[in-house]
Amino acid sequence: MPSQSDAIKEAYNAGIFEGNRHSLYRDMFRWSQELRRGEQVHMNIASKLDDFSKGWRTGQLKEIAQLNLQSDTDVQRYICRKVDRLCDAMDWVADILRRRLACEVDIADMLVALAVHVGRSRYLCMRTPLPDLYADGLDAFAEEEHAFWWKVHRNAFVREISSCLMESMKCQCCRCVV
């Protein structure tokens, strides 16, 4: 049975994670809108996606550093296949941005897909998982979005990134299956 101080630390970490998740989710939607308006922010967004992906994978991200993770094992518990897929997709979109391999509207759609899947991410270090209605709602939205884009979107990058992210929903690691 976890002590009261452990429960307080976990609740603190879950609250920090939720705030950071919402912040990145909003940032990605804002970047999407900036691209749709034709603003020249490609390299800035690519750099932010690279930093976030690298930091999330290594546990060095300042938002992760705010969490009260006691060891490298705790950091590894925080990362699962869903996070790996999300980071892979962020790297891919950053590369597409840098090379300008797609038009701004298509890249904006890729950022929306990333934002939805960031919103789906869950805090996985809890010894007793809490329900996350926000992430659950975005799971259903992500499925609908993927089906829509697969049918109507002409850009192969958007379709493949959406597929890559959707595969992460099938994660069966011990943290995702409660």
For the stretch 124-160, pLDDT in tens is: 555 555 666 777 777 788 888 888 877 887 888 888 8
Q: What is the mean pLDDT of the chain?
A: 75
For the stretch 77-92, pLDDT in tens is: 555 667 778 888 999 9
Q: How far apart are CA 86 and CA 82, in angstroms?
A: 6
CA-to-CA dists, residue 111 to 46, 56, 98, 136, 176, angstroms: 11, 17, 14, 20, 24
| Segment holding 161, helix H or strand E | helix 156-167
Residues with Cβ within 8 Å of 62's Cβ and at least 6 positions away in sequence, in order, are: 55
> Which residue ranges make up each domain of the chain?
4-170
Instruction: Look at residue 5 and tell me whether its pLDDT is greater than 50.
Output: yes
How buried is residue 38: exposed, middle or buried, by Cβ count under 10 Å (0-12/13-18/19+)?
exposed
